[in-house]
Amino acid sequence: MTLPVEHFRSHRDVCAGTIVWQLNDCWPVTSWSAVDGDGRRKPLWYALRRAYADRLLTVQPRAGGLAVIAVNDGPAPWRASASVTRLTLAGEPRAKTTLELDVPAYAKVELALPAELARPEEARRELLVAEADGTAERTLWFFAEDRDADWPAARYDASVEPVDGGHRVRVTARTVLRDVTLFPDRLDPAADVDEALVTLLPGESATFTVRADAPLDPAALTTRPVLRHVNDIVTD
């Protein structure tokens, strides 16, 4: 769902938006909705929140190769320096450039990437990372689909600390982790989490706040089947 939404938004001069079907299920069922029949948010809900943010940074294929597109659906201009890096799944940089963004309100800017960034040496083992406003706006472009990428066996550290009304889970990646997601409802049907589908590069960390009516097992919050990522699914 993220792929088509970002595609259409990147053509803002000819397409003003998209409509997603559907928001929620009316009963328990496997479907493409963003909220299940009991009102729990599925991973898609978090992906749509990012894909529809007022400011969107995305990498898209264009006739001449890859381009970085900055979309600004806010009322103020968006001016920032953006860094674009081609690196391996192990986190080793291969090429880098800096782009200057100057996006008027309710507009988009498209900037072509040089060949040394757009053409990988090993497609199954490389990706692009584009960031603006520090890391506030970030997008990733993988040169191979998830099923074809050469994902390393996942290694990470995780800690859990209690907070009012739940737990705070901190995950620090030792290898690239694709789309880290917690499913606390597998421990308590009423539990939920504030973020999902977070991709971490080696050395990066992310914090997830889990809300639950009753205390949850800290060890269970940091292992399968609650903590999942693409590395797990593809390499199983």
179's CB contacts (< 8 A; 6+ apart) are 43, 197, 198, 199, 229, 230
Paired with 160 in beta bridges are 169
How high is the pLDDT of residue 235?
Answer: 64
Counting Cα atoms < 13 Å in the Cβ hemisphere of 221 gives 26
Q: What is the pLDDT of residues 55-111, one digit of tens each?
A: 999 999 999 899 999 999 999 999 999 999 999 999 999 999 999 999 999 999 999
How high is the pLDDT of residue 64?
Answer: 87
Give the residue among 182, 181, 178 at the shortest CA–CA distance from 146. Answer: 178
Q: Which two tokens stand for residue 83?
A: 């860094």
Q: What is the pLDDT of residues 135-158, one digit of tens each?
A: 789 999 999 999 999 999 999 999
How high is the pLDDT of residue 48?
Answer: 96
How high is the pLDDT of residue 134?
Answer: 79
Q: Are 75 and 84 in contact (CB under 8 A)?
A: no
Angle among Cα 18, 179, 176 to the nearest 5 degrees reads: 135
Q: What is the pLDDT of residues 8-44, one digit of tens each?
A: 999 998 987 898 989 999 999 999 999 999 999 999 9
Instruction: Reply yes or no on whether the pLDDT at 221 is more than 90.
Output: yes
Backbone φ/ψ region at 94: left (φ over 0), alpha (ψ -120 to 50), beta: alpha
Q: What is the average per-residue pLDDT within 124-145?
A: 93
Q: What is the pLDDT of residues 194-213, one digit of tens each?
A: 999 999 999 999 999 999 99
For residue 163, report the phi and psi dihedrals to the nearest 5 degrees: -135, 165
Angle among Cα 8, 114, 89 to the nearest 5 degrees reads: 80
How high is the pLDDT of residue 36?
Answer: 95
Q: State which H helix or E strand residue 172 sits in.
A: strand 166-173
Instruction: Reply yes or no on whether the pLDDT at 120 is more than 90.
Output: yes
Angle among Cα 165, 168, 171 to the nearest 5 degrees reads: 160
For residue 124, what pLDDT band results from cuts at 50, 70 and 90?
A: very high
Residue at token pair 């000819």: 14
- Give the dihedral sign, CA 12/54/171/222: negative
| Percent of the chain residues topping a pLDDT of 70 | 99
For residue 236, what pLDDT band results from cuts at 50, 70 and 90?
A: low
